[in-house]
Chains A and B, each alone.
Chain A
Amino acid sequence: MAERENPLTEAVYYILLALRKPNHGYGIIQEVEQLTGGRVILGAGTLYGAIQTLLKKKWIDIYSIDTESRKKKEYMITDLGRQVFETERQRLEELLENAKLMHIEKK
């Protein structure tokens, strides 16, 4: 599994995070809005496209389709998705760590 070293977009980052527990489409939008204090409100088009892409990459998977009860289709992050998320977390940590330099080396 050669991981792509590309940074994740903010949308993908938060979608993966929101799917640490099973959730359905609109639930993801609501969770992300809550996590970011209203700063990131995903558009329905953005979310739908992202879910299709993440399913294809196998970073998320379908959690359950309960066709008996009219429960919505839910998604959840996969192990591969968790790996990708962790790589991203380390990248962000490095960025924040280096950000301190801006303050320290100020003349």
Chain B
Amino acid sequence: MIRFRLYLDKDAKEQWLNQMAAEGWAMETFFAGIYQFTACEKGAYTYRVDFGDRLFSVSNDYRELMQDAGIQIIQTWGYWVILRKKASEGAFALYTDLASSIEHYQKIRRMFRVVTILEMICLFVELYVGAKGIMLGYGCALLIAAMLVAVVNAVFQTNRKIAELEEKMTGISTKHKNTYVSVFLAVGLLINSCAFLLMEYIPHAVTRGLQIIAIAFMLVGVAKTCTKSLF
């Protein structure tokens, strides 16, 4: 069975994988947002998502440790590692104290920050191409902008998680901003991007229609972002 989902939030992804396992579907492979499941006994496995030090691979030490602990390495994707353990063998938690949990999220946040910078560079490159008269540039720029919005939101969410954990650890409550970027903005940019990229292949009216929908989404997105962030 195949499902398609895009997750930047590892906790949300974990929750979904465990939900699927509870319904009798165990994830076996993953590729660019496409998840493949095979049938299993309901609740047979507990899934966890880890963040490693290597791209698309894990060290021998890691592999050995997981093997000894009865944890199966299912898939690596970028720095992400998807693991599972048989539920019958007991509870499965990767990070059992606050300090290591915080380190885990800090590593994730660092990756999102680097991706943000890389995407901003790509964005400027595409804007430059577009300014030179190649419409494809603007189309790609919008696509990258959509991805950029998603990643920046991921940085904000990870910040919030780290702040919550640090608060638990030190007992000091810090007043942190609950910033977030609305998904409407990303979707709007995506629709706008499609409009640009397909401009030469679809009727003018359709392009205009898409652009209007896109701008509507973007406005809603900006409004939601500002109101949520100001509380």
- Which chain A residue shows the least CB distance to B52? A48
- Across-interface contacts of B202 in A (CB, < 8 A): none
> Does residue B62 face the partner (Cβ distance < 8 Å to A)?
yes
Given A49-B103, A49-B104: A44 and B64 within 8 A (CB)? no
The interface residues of chain B lying within 8 Å CB-to-CB of A10 are 97
Decide if B93 touches A43 in the complex (CB within 8 Å). Answer: yes
Which residue of chain B has the shortest Cβ distance to A12 in the bound complex?
Answer: B99
Chain A nearest Cβ from B11, distance in angstroms: 14
**Other-chain residue from A45, A50, A73 in contact with B61 (beta carbon distance below 8 A):** A73
In the bound complex, do residue A25 and residue B93 qualify as a contact, i.e. CB atoms below 8 Å apart? no
**A97 CB, min distance to chain B CBs, angstroms:** 24
- Closest residue to A44 on the B side, CB-wise? B69
A72 touches B64 (CB 8 A): yes
User: Considering only CB atoms and an 8 Å cut-off, how many residues of chain A contact the other chain?
Assistant: 22
B104→A25 contact, CB < 8 A? no
- Residues of the B chain whose Cβ atoms lie less than 8 Å from the Cβ of A29: 69
Asked if residues A43 and B104 are in contact (CB atoms below 8 Å), the reply is: no
What residues of chain B lie closer than 8 Å to A50, measured between beta carbons?
A: 100
Q: Judge whether B61 and A51 touch: CB under 8 Å.
A: yes
Of all chain B residues, the one with the shortest Cβ separation from A42 is: B96
Q: Which residues from chain A contact B66 at a C-beta distance below 8 Å?
A: 44
CB contact between A25 and one of B61, B94, B97, B99 (< 8 Å): that residue: B61
Looking across the interface, which residue of chain A has its beta carbon closest to that of B67? A26
- CB pair A45–B64 under 8 Å, yes or no, is no
Judging by beta carbons under 8 Å apart, are B100 and A26 in contact?
Answer: no
**Inter-subunit contact A9/B97 (CB<8 Å):** yes
Residue of A nearest to B65 (CB): A25
Task: State the Cβ distance, B35 to closest chain A Cβ, in Å.
Answer: 22
Q: List 24 A-B contacts (CB under 8 A).
A: A9-B97, A11-B97, A11-B99, A24-B64, A25-B61, A25-B65, A26-B68, A29-B69, A43-B93, A43-B96, A43-B100, A44-B66, A44-B94, A45-B50, A45-B95, A45-B104, A46-B95, A47-B65, A48-B62, A49-B104, A50-B100, A73-B60, A73-B61, A73-B64
Besides A25-B64, A46-B100, A48-B61, 17 other CB < 8 A contacts? A10-B97, A11-B96, A11-B99, A25-B65, A26-B65, A26-B69, A29-B69, A40-B96, A43-B94, A44-B69, A45-B94, A46-B96, A46-B97, A48-B65, A49-B103, A72-B64, A73-B60
